[in-house]
Amino acid sequence: MSEQKLLENDFVRLEPLRDRHRGVLRPLADEAELWALTSVRADGVHFDPWFYTMHAETRLDRQISYAVFDKLSGRYGGHSAFLSIVPEHQRVEIGWTWYGAEFRGTHVNPAAKRLMLERAFEAGAERVELKTHGRNERSQRAMEKLGAVREGVLRSQMNTWTGERRDTVYYSVLKEEWPDVRAGLDRRLAAMKP
């Protein structure tokens, strides 16, 4: 799973994060609302430290970060990553997913998740985890629409950059659920083709 591999379908291209992506992702991240319910922020002066962390964690094989390129618009749309990679338990998390305002609610997220889930299960995962802030209803709806199963809430699980203690909602997709989830994503994406 630690192999940094370009992932691509008709809608998006997930490019392993490189320093050249700093300039194209920075303006997309410069939206305070995007970071309101996160553990760290990456708008304004916070972008470079966030980017450095994502890049460093990828170089150290602790996660695999991707710049998400939207093929339909011909522009970069955001970021997503594999993290919490635990090969001995065939488990991985998809997280650090965020998109610029114009890319949210479009084909970009389901197309990117389709690629990432497929890669995870092909690499031997038995379980893919997703998690979000307990108050991030938009993210929870997206995970449910994806077909992930809500597992529960870890109360007061982490600090956020605002100093608030965050309740974290966990979702997952298991290997045996992947065929149905994949079929649902394929139907959604077929309906979105231009």
Q: What share of the chain is helix, strand, coil (3-state, %, to 5)?
A: 40, 30, 25
Q: Is the pLDDT of residue 3 over 90?
A: no
What pLDDT does 1 receive? 63
Question: In this structure, which amino acid lies at residue 65?
Answer: S
Percentage of the chain beyond pLDDT 70 is 99
What pLDDT does 193 receive? 83
Give the C-alpha separation, 21 to 158, whole Å: 29
User: Which residues are 86's β-sheet partners?
Assistant: 91
pLDDT tens track for 158-192: 999 999 999 999 999 999 999 999 999 999 999 99
Identify the CA nearest to 139 among candidates 175, 169, 173. Answer: 169
What pLDDT does 111 receive? 98
What pLDDT does 142 receive? 94
pLDDT tens track for 109-144: 999 999 999 999 999 999 999 999 999 999 999 999
Please, what is the average pLDDT of the chain? 95
